[in-house]
Amino acid sequence: MKITALGHSGFFFEDGKKLIIDPFLTGNPAAKNTIADFPQVDVVLVTHAHPDHLGDAYEIVKKTGATLVSTHELAVSGEVTGEGMNYGGTVTVRDIPITMVKAEHSVGVGDSAGFIWTQGGKVIYHMGDTSLFSDMKFLGEVYKPDILFVPIGDRYTMNPKDAALATSWIDPKVVIPMHYKTFPFLVQDPTEFKELCEASCRAIVTILEPAQTIEI
């Protein structure tokens, strides 16, 4: 499976099926990709309604015919019709099973969420925007994620120390930090997160720059 970082909290996954999450491209000072780089998308996931996560989701759905999966309020917006869901629920979209899990983060429309799904033979957990909360350990025990995407930017989400603790609770094989350095107030250095993780858990920390692609 190929994973491409889009900057901030956005990522693009390819394994035959093409899935994009939190596609904040237009107006993103860190992004190097545009909507035109993604002419084929099967599923668009949106963790919550803040513009740095909703981003270009509706436009991508309109251009590609992808299915939007998000909280009910966003998925059935009137602008597009997608698959709405809520915490603990699972839907299978384009043969990809997707579970919505809790995130602790305020938002004006609907709720904030994380997603756990299986793609390319891997269990993937994208935490969205969240603070540290103890149920993360439970989610790790139940779903056993292989790849974790964790916010480290502080101020609006966890800082590197809390994010490293969350990673140790969840115990993935690979962890990828996100939601940092996009804006001046998100100043955290991912190398601090990497050092803290390596001291406390087995996860391999992979730091991705915008537009960088890896294969896992």
In this predicted model, what pLDDT tens digit does every residue of 49-97 receive, in sequence order? Answer: 999 999 999 999 999 999 999 999 899 877 888 999 999 999 999 999 9
Note the pLDDT of residue 161.
96
Is the model's pLDDT at 150 over the cut of 90? yes
- pLDDT in the model for residue 124: 98
Looking at residue 191, what is its pLDDT? 95
Q: CB–CB of 103/113 below 8 Å?
A: yes
- Tell me: the pLDDT tens digits for 179-200? 999 998 887 889 999 999 999 9
What's the half-sphere exposure (Cβ side, CA atoms, 13 Å) at 183?
11
pLDDT in tens, 19-57: 999 999 999 999 999 999 999 999 999 999 999 999 999
pTM, two decimals, is: 0.97
Rounded to an integer, what distance in angstroms lies between the CA atom of residue 142 and that of residue 117? 13
Residue 116 has pLDDT above 90, yes or no: yes
88, with CB counted inside 10 A (0-12, 13-18, 19+), is: exposed
CA-to-CA distance for 132 and 163, rounded, in angstroms?
7
**Of residues 148, 154, 137, 157, the one with CA closest to residue 188:** 154
Domains in the chain, CATH or no CATH each: 2-211 (3.60.15.10)
Three-state DSSP at 14 gives: strand
pLDDT score of 5 more than 80:
yes
Q: Which of 21-30, 91-100, 109-118, 132-141 has the lowest mean pLDDT?
A: 109-118
Closest CA to 125 of 189, 197, 45: 45
* CA end-to-end span of the chain: 5
Confidence label for 3 from pLDDT (cuts 50, 70 and 90): very high
pLDDT of residue 163: 98
